[in-house]
Chains A and B, each alone.
Chain A
């Protein structure tokens, strides 16, 4: 990419907006996923009994729905990101691209 195009895009306030919004969103979601996973792992490592505690009358334990919930959470959180990225972020990206070309 030529240096003047890079300069032009970098000076576009929309580029700044895209980068700030997207990175803060991406890092927040990453931290949420890591926090959920490592909390689970630390409970497993230090306090197994919490997960082995029975849930209700039968043999069902707290750990079962928690484990399934983490799997569903991982899927849901990718959906949340893809939805916003494929609409809001892509619209911004397309604006930036169009403006970079128009002023050529």
Chain B
């Protein structure tokens, strides 16, 4: 039992990865009219943006990267938007509601990857890439094998994330709007297909920006309302919370979230390197004009994300004092209606009444829509740009054909997401986003990082080592507590840790190193000889200015 208690926050924290694995229990709610009206306003607004964007989306570069015309500030908001998923909001505030300080530890882990991405990756990505991170990873390597592996890594991450988001969307909407699960999943799928096929990256980015602004404003309002109850004195808020919370003053310090150093470090690696290997986040670095704007994007994104996490912390404490004692929000045994992840939603009602509850519900729906759109675009690019145009057609594909294929891929991914979203309704999907992060950190990131920083990397090393990282990450997640015990129902996990990143990332790096230095093939020599030219371009951006071409 004690062990279970220690794991509980990790499960809830897992929800913070994406809306998907958030645990929303409870019954379907009555129709929430205010929420539905505001959601329709959001949909109408974003569809007109899509119409506007569609008329500006003519070339492949427009479709994949909004023609590189997004400013650093806009891109910073969009990146922050990708990161502030519905469950980042609901999951972290729910974790704070349940455990207090532990929620802050988790939020910090999410944030600290960004400065490192800025210092080591952002400008080189911008200088080397065109549409996808595979452009960078395969820059000087043999296209077919490296692109195929990178595209596979992207698609695996996108598919896992999409399923998690769709299931989360269905359950959340069922709860918030009182709409049937299947209906909610289909609405999300269809809107996402419309945004992406017609508006491409331009529409996807603006949907994300609008949602980020709505979410930041809503969260700010809630935090201010909570603090105003206590004369804007954090001390008074905390003091009231510790009097009510069952754990008393211990919520003011670290609890059971980080129970052993291996888990702590492994989780830290998964969050940090996983973020740096997510295809839909990396893709945003190609939507700005140059390295200068790419840097600014991360600066603004870090600011918005940090501010957002401070707000969610206040919101979690606010829910302790304003929600946890109010029978209106509780079911029988003193538990929150809909589970702990509903803390922020109930708080929105407590501070702003039905109308504001409707607003926050609509924002939560919009958030899911925006995140799935970015994911689908990243998946479609992996199919049309990496697999079709670069690997199969060797870069000689007709641009129109490539764009048509990417739109077909978008529709196919959307339909697949709807089908899988419905199929997985009753399944335990808590492992999916964790697995997506493990794959991103263990397969995508090591290849990307070493292709930039290590001149001796060869095609063989990248493909064998990267595949090894991918396989080890998947195996360890299956043998670990989340799948082996929670999904498959075995008593004890074969691999004891929930986060395999420490082991799988190490395997990938060692594998890539070993298979590269022992590679004496002709291709290996070509790969190494090309490093110098890549290095000069990565450092100066020469050849990457304006319309990128290589």
Give me the interface of A with B, judged by CB distance under 8 Å: 1, 3, 5-6, 9-10, 15, 18-19, 22, 26-27, 29-30, 33-34, 36-38, 40-42, 44-46, 48-49, 51-53, 58-61, 63-64, 67-68, 70-72, 74-75, 77-79, 81-82, 85-86, 90, 93, 96-97, 100
The 8 A CB mask of B236-268 against A (1 = contact, 0 = none) is: 001100100000011011100111110011001
Indicate if B108 sits at the interface (CB-CB under 8 A).
yes
**What are the residues of chain A within 8 A of B116 when measuring CB–CB?**
30, 33-34
Assuming the contacts A67-B101, A67-B108, A74-B115, asked whether A9 and B536 have C-beta atoms less than 8 A apart, the reply is yes
Pick from A6, A26, A51, A74: contact of B112, CB below 8 A: A74
Check A71–B310 contact: CB distance below 8 A. Answer: yes
Task: State whether A30 touches B258 (Cβ < 8 A).
Answer: no
Binary per-residue interface labels of chain B (327-356) against chain A in the complex, 1 for a CB within 8 Å, 0 otherwise: 000000000000000000000000000000
Q: Would you call B546 an interface residue if the criterion is a C-beta within 8 Å of the partner chain's C-beta atoms?
A: no
**Across-interface contacts of B239 in A (CB, < 8 A):** 58-59
Within the complex, which residue of B108, B238, B250, B541 is in contact with A52, where a contact is CB–CB below 8 Å? B250
Q: Is B299 within 8 A of A78, CB to CB?
A: yes
Q: How far is the CB of A27 from chain B (nearest CB, A)?
A: 7
Which of B10-18, B301-309, B497-505 lies at the interface?
B301-309
Q: Tell whether A90 pairs with B254 under 8 Å between CB atoms, given A41-B268, A44-B105, A78-B299.
A: no
The docked-state distance in angstroms from the alpha carbon of A14 to that of B231 is 56
Separation of A85 and B119 alpha carbons in the complex (Å): 10
Q: A74 CA to B17 CA in the complex, in Å?
A: 20
Tell me if A97 and B302 are in contact (CB < 8 A). no
| B238 nearest CB neighbor, chain A only | A59
Write the nearest CB–CB distance from A58 to chain B, whole angstroms.
Answer: 5
Q: Which 6 A-B pairs have the closest CB atoms?
A: A52-B253, A26-B119, A61-B252, A71-B306, A37-B112, A48-B254
> Are the CB atoms of B302 and A63 closer together than 8 Å?
no
Task: Please report the C-alpha to C-alpha distance between residue A73 and residue B478 in the assembled complex, in whole angstroms.
Answer: 37
Tell me if A96 and B264 are in contact (CB < 8 A).
no
CB distance from B256 to the nearest CB of A (A): 10
* In the assembled complex, B400 has its CB within 8 A of some CB on chain A: no
A59 contacts B235, CB within 8 Å? Answer: yes
Instruction: Specify the main secondary structure of chain A where it touches its partner.
Output: helix
The contact of A63 among B252, B309, B310, by CB within 8 Å, is: B252
- Interface contacts beyond A40-B108, A59-B242, A75-B306: sample of 18 additional A-B pairs, CB < 8 Å, sorted by A: A29-B115, A34-B112, A40-B105, A41-B105, A58-B235, A61-B252, A64-B104, A67-B105, A68-B310, A71-B107, A71-B111, A71-B306, A75-B302, A78-B114, A79-B299, A81-B119, A85-B292, A90-B291
Contacts of B543 in A (CB 8 A): 1
Instruction: Give the Cβ gap from B88 to chain A, nearest Cβ, in Å.
Output: 15
Q: Which residue of B104, B302, B532, B537 is within 8 Å of A67 (Cβ)? A: B104
Check A51–B253 contact: CB distance below 8 A: yes
CB interface residues, B 252-293, toward A, < 8 Å: 252-254, 257-261, 264-265, 268, 291-292
Contact with A along B208-239 (1 / 0, CB 8 A): 00000000000000000000000000110011
Question: 11 A-B residue contacts at CB 8 Å?
Answer: A37-B109, A41-B105, A41-B109, A41-B268, A45-B264, A46-B261, A51-B101, A58-B235, A59-B235, A59-B242, A61-B101
A70 x B533 contact (CB < 8 A): no
CA distance A10 to B543 in the complex (A): 15
Of A3, A6, A44, A86, most buried by chain B (CB within 10 Å of CB) is A44
Contact indicator per residue, chain B 71-107, by CB within 8 Å of chain A (1) or not (0)? 0000000000000000000000000000001001101
* B258 pairs with A45, CB closer than 8 A: yes
Nearest-CB distance from A84 to chain B (Å)?
Answer: 10
Contact indicator per residue, chain B 508-550, by CB within 8 Å of chain A (1) or not (0): 0000000000000000000000001100110111110000000
- Contact indicator B536/A6 (Cβ below 8 Å): yes
Q: Is the CB of B292 within 8 A of A27?
A: no
B137 on the A face (CB < 8 A): no
